[in-house]
A and B are shown apart, each in its own frame.
Chain A
Amino acid sequence: MKNWTKHTLITRWVAPALLAAGGLGSAHAADGDANADVECPIKVGVLHSLSGTMAISESTLKDTALMLIKQQNEKGGLLGCDLEPVVVDPASDWPLFAEKARQLLAQEKVDVVFGTWTSVSRKSVLPVFEELNGLLFYPVQYEGEESSRNIVYTGAAPNQQAIPAVNYLMNQVGIERWVLLGTDYVYPRTTNKILEQYLKDQGVADSDIMVNYTPFGHSDWQSIVSRVKAFGSMGKPTAVVSTINGDANVPFYKELANQQISAADIPVVAFSVGEQELSGIDTDPLLGHLAAWNYFQSIDTPANERFIENWHDYTGDDDRVTNDPMEATYIGFNLWVKAVKKAGTTDVDTVIDTLPGLKVDNLTGGTAELLPNHHITKPVYIGEITDNGQFSVVWETDEEVPGDAWSDFLPESAKLKADWVDLDCGHYNTETEECSGQMSDMAEDEE
């Protein structure tokens, strides 16, 4: 904690110096006094799809954000101001995400945005956030390989989800043969690349790894499941590591059940199937299959209990489940609130400088600390699907795992590191010792 503030100060000397040197009047009072810089109400953008294919996942996060805002307002708001949510619908349309992000930042002049789910939507808004110097909290597990000054990643990086899950299967279940099934897009591709490398490092032979990709919304899993079954019947314990996305999961699990592959035969560990996805599946045939997350609704802590209760009150539906991206939204929101309180302003630059090093409680009894690479520390849980559509935790990491923006298992990526405190760079090349590419960040700081 102390360290961070020291670093923050070092990086922050630029702004005051500029002020002093040129009296460049209009520059924001980066460290200025609180009230001068806050315009009431404080606007909070919510950028989640409410229609289209992603609505199924994202609309819940919109509700979560609105609930958190409401609660904050009931507690008296922030810096004496009420928070005002600005909700827009990017309609699962990626260019529309960029447009809506621009609208939030340029027209609505929001102070912070909570939003996006898919990698492509994040990639679509990233240039906008960097250009207009906004602040986005991104709440979903993703493939890593990114760290932007203007984005805070509160979901899991691959080392906070995929690798621990594989470790569990390897060491605790004794899996020797691996099927990596994924939807054909960047998250599964990258995750599987990382896992393949990791497995090979652990001495798994090439012939014991099967990789298969399917298109989005793939619904006919007969042949693939049958091949998995054959692959898994060669005498070695086999598991499926699934990065299958959204809609394709239900038919996949249904086909597993149809071909009577139980979790005891070939367990499936999924990274995109949580409580909410389960609520759309008949879980009876899925008992015992696994998911790796940083949060489960079933984890029994007072904080989580309260959160679930609030959620049920807010939605008026006692059957609504909670899930990992909701917790990530919760953590992100609290981090932002804490940073704003500490900085005494909602000014984006100040908040970004204040954020690293802040710690907030997560819902599972630990703490989430925002690291200099704009990722957070997270505990990893492996849960088995139970018959009430929940997960029972079968394994967890001893302590929180720090999120790694650049994977150590991809040759090019291993050289990079992100550090927004000391290095002020999202992709610092440790071999050449310089911040590769991306002049826009530099340009911004000079302004």
Chain B
Amino acid sequence: MRHSNHGPVLTRMLGDTGSLIFVVVLIALTVAVPLCNVYLPEASALHVTDYTVALIGKYLTYALLAVAIDLIWGYCGILSLGHTAFFGLGGYAMGMYLMRQIGDRGVYGNPVLPDFMVFLDWEHLPWYWHGMDIFPFAMAMVVLVPGLLALVFGGLAFRSRVTGVYFAIITQAMTYALMLAFFRNEMGFGGNNGLTDFKDILGYELSADGTRNALFVASGVGLLLGFLIARFIVTSRLGRVLEAIRDAESRTRFTGYRVAYYKLWIFTVSAMLAGVAGALYVPQVGIINPSEFSPIASIEAVVWVAVGGRGTLYGAALGAGAVNFAKTWLTGAYPEIWPYALGILFVAVTLFLPKGIVGLVSQLRRRMRRKEPS
């Protein structure tokens, strides 16, 4: 089934059954989980605990990151092994805002400087921390900083036609360099400890139930919007061009498309989505630290997409949820063996489910349909 760019935009975007189901389920989840958390008594079987809210909220942000990765990898063939760099930058921007929100309620009572600067004898707030106490400005940074990095980095790479594994590896270098940089205490981002011990967001206490549910809804809406934007792109003619680049880059060029611009554009959009995901992630887990930049984390994120099924967007989101759920469950239930299970899962998926979970589902459906008539 191929989507086509005729007809009304919404039909075009949700014309595909998988996407439609995904959007419906996502909306239901975004609405139902907070309701079940707040209004159902704890004894109820359908009650959703705070823990679960936070957990699913985290998965949602991961899912958004996965959608961002799928947008470039699944549709344009750009494999970025450094996408958590953008996720992390978005997260840091949000973390800086939350840090500034603490104000003089830090342990040293300094109205301007975050605690980690106080006890390391910083005298002034570094220039890049200014303005981060203003929410709209900070939110702009959430999008602009990753976007700018993507623009510069991508501009350099795509212009000189760095592709395939070479691109994958320099993105690793990028995120690795960022990780090392953020580990440096002189950078003024709290070094290894990162930013933590946040108090409130927009004046609402972070640990309050209401705030947690609001953040959950924000994550759900964020994922929904991210998904719709991505769907809008991939179902437009631009989506065709991206796929054309993925399949036959040189041919696309001879057809008159400036491939580097397209790649740069979609890479930047994807980085911005990843930044938003990071920003939603931080207040829910309560910490942002340079290990988010670790190259392994980026590879893991790519693995989510592969497990879910590349090139479908909802598959990526599904994969992020599934792998992270497995991780949560296994690290609790079988702490000693979960790396085995995860390792085997990755191998098995690539060998036996080249199209991921989504591919498996459609394969099963096809088999069912074949049986029906007979």
Contact = CB atoms under 8 A, between A and B. Distances in A.
Asked if A and B form a direct contact in the complex, defined as CB atoms under 8 angstroms apart, the reply is yes
A106 B108 contact: no
Contacts of B180: 215
B319 interface: no
Contacts of B110: 412
A123 B328 contact: no
B147 to A, nearest CB: 24
A412 B286 CA distance: 25
Interface string B289-314: 10110000000000000000000000
Interface in A120-178: 120, 123-124, 126-128, 130-131, 145-146
Nearest to A145: B119
Contacts of A184: 183-185, 191-192
Contacts of B287: 94-95, 98, 120, 123-124
A426 B121 contact: no
A117 B286 CA distance: 18
A90 interface: yes
B285 interface: yes
Interface stretch (A16-24, A275-283, A434-442): A434-442
Contacts of B119: 145, 190, 193, 410, 412-413
Looking at B190, B206, B285, the one whose CB has the most chain A CB atoms below 10 A away is B285
A94 B293 CA distance: 12
A328 interface: no
Contacts of B104: 436-437
B291 A93 contact: yes
Contact of B331 (A88, A95, A119, A193): A88
Given A100-B332, A426-B107, A437-B104, A193 B50 contact: no
Contact of A103 (B107, B196, B197, B332): B332
A375 interface: no
Looking at B110, B115, B205, B287, the one whose CB has the most chain A CB atoms below 10 A away is B287
A231 B202 CA distance: 52
Nearest to A52: B339
B41 to A, nearest CB: 13
Interface in A176-210: 184-186, 189-190, 193
Looking at A130, A145, A193, the one whose CB has the most chain B CB atoms below 10 A away is A145
Contacts of B332: 88-89, 100, 103
Nearest to A216: B183
Contacts of A89: 331-332, 335-336, 338
Interface in A99-118: 99-100, 102-103, 106-107, 118
B85 to A, nearest CB: 16
A51 interface: yes
Nearest to B281: A95
Nearest to B208: A131
Given A88-B331, A413-B108, A127 B196 contact: yes
A416 B335 CA distance: 40
Interface stretch (B51-59, B249-257, B354-362): B51-59
B206 to A, nearest CB: 8
Nearest to A50: B335
A416 B338 contact: no
A427 interface: yes
Looking at A95, A128, A131, the one whose CB has the most chain B CB atoms below 10 A away is A95
Looking at B51, B121, B194, the one whose CB has the most chain A CB atoms below 10 A away is B51
Given A95-B285, A119-B193, A436-B108, A190 B120 contact: yes
B121 A186 contact: no
B146 interface: no
A56 interface: no
Given A50-B335, A186-B116, A436 B183 contact: no
A265 B304 CA distance: 53
A411 interface: yes
A436 B109 contact: yes
Looking at A87, A216, A437, A438, the one whose CB has the most chain B CB atoms below 10 A away is A437
A324 B12 CA distance: 64
B49 A106 contact: yes
A439 B199 contact: yes
Looking at B51, B55, B106, B193, the one whose CB has the most chain A CB atoms below 10 A away is B193
A354 B285 CA distance: 31
Looking at B104, B197, B339, the one whose CB has the most chain A CB atoms below 10 A away is B197
Contacts of B75: none
A429 interface: yes
B54 A99 contact: yes
A120 B196 CA distance: 9
A122 to B, nearest CB: 9
Interface in B185-213: 185, 190-194, 196-199, 205-207
Contacts of A130: 207
Interface of A: 50-51, 87-91, 93-96, 98-100, 102-103, 106-107, 118-120, 123-124, 126-128, 130-131, 145-146, 184-186, 189-190, 193, 213, 215-216, 410-413, 416, 426-427, 429, 432, 436-440
Interface of B: 49-51, 54-55, 58, 102, 104-110, 115-116, 118-121, 180, 183-185, 190-194, 196-199, 205-207, 285-287, 289, 291-292, 327-328, 331-332, 335-336, 338-339
15 contacts: A90-B331, A95-B286, A98-B285, A106-B50, A119-B192, A124-B286, A124-B287, A126-B197, A190-B120, A215-B180, A216-B192, A410-B121, A416-B107, A426-B107, A439-B199
For the complex of A and B, list the 9 residue pairs with the smallest distance between their C-beta atoms, beginning with the closest. A436-B109, A437-B105, A89-B335, A185-B192, A427-B107, A131-B207, A106-B51, A95-B285, A89-B331
